[in-house]
Amino acid sequence: MLTFSPQRQANLAAALARVQEEIAQAAQDTSGARTAASPLPELLVVTKFFPASDVAALYQLGVRQVGENRDQEAAPKAQELAQELAGDEPLRWSFIGQAQTNKAKSIVRYASSLQSLDRPSLAQALSKAYLKQLARYENGEAPAPAALADGGLSCLIQVNLDLSQQASAGQAAWGARGGAAPSQILELAQLVADLPGLTLGGLMAVAPLGQDPAPAFERLYGYSQQLQAEFPQAKQISAGMSGDLAQAIRWGSSQVRVGSQIMGPRPAAASA
């Protein structure tokens, strides 16, 4: 049984309400890509470095989407929550950090989406791992892949928005420059669309460090429009964090990723 103090849940509730209000306020800005009819962006709560009990507290507060960027932390946490919430509405986990191909087998067990696809080898590894997990499930040997009910693991292509620095494959590190070059988006999208076990969700990006995020997010919106012209289902734009949330929403972000603004300072053990 995962336990948490009433005070901790109250703090999380207050922080969550503040961020949700910030999202609602930013969504009223129609000077960029949004219109009055645009849906409210989703909130993905980033729970890295925080215990499974905090995620349980967030679940009681209505949170159904959380993100992690380290498999060695996310996998056991997701397993704890799956046991805690057995029979309840599922919690959806997104893997949002740099993903090594040798972690694909673990990621497909608990993640509904992977938001940092930046190279063909990762897409191929995820497809292979998903199919193996599905086969084991069908043989009664293992649980189903987490994304089975969705028809496959949703993959977002991480795009490098820093025009001054060429991204390196495999360096889609959370909070750092990285991702596929814009010229690679359609090629990667076609690969994801063709690989069994994967679905194409859209794009993800991190604003360039030390630069005005608004022009970068405007470019991301343009890349998304080009992608949707070829793949109409790939509508998601995951962009915007605590410091640049409003600019991302202005330019069409459909999901923002917020961690410390909700969770608070990192626990001492994680900071050490």
**Whole-number pLDDT of residue 172:** 42
pLDDT at 201 over 90: yes
Say which amino acid occupies 183: S
For 150-166, how does the pLDDT look when each residue is reduced to its tens digit (9 = 90+)? 999 999 999 999 987 65
- CB-CB contact of 67 with 44 (8 Å): yes
Report CA dihedral (40, 256, 54, 77) to the nearest 10 degrees.
120
- CB-CB contact of 146 with 202 (8 Å): no
Closest CA to 149 of 137, 167, 162: 137
Q: In the CATH hierarchy, which top-level class contains the domain 40-263?
A: alpha beta
Split at pLDDT 50, 70, 90, the class of 60 is very high
For 206-215, how does the pLDDT look when each residue is reduced to its tens digit (9 = 90+)? 999 989 999 9
Report CA dihedral (143, 145, 148, 151) to the nearest 10 degrees.
-160
Angle at CA 218, nearest 5°, toward 215 and 222?
A: 140
For 142-151, how does the pLDDT look when each residue is reduced to its tens digit (9 = 90+)? 999 999 999 9
pTM of the model: 0.93
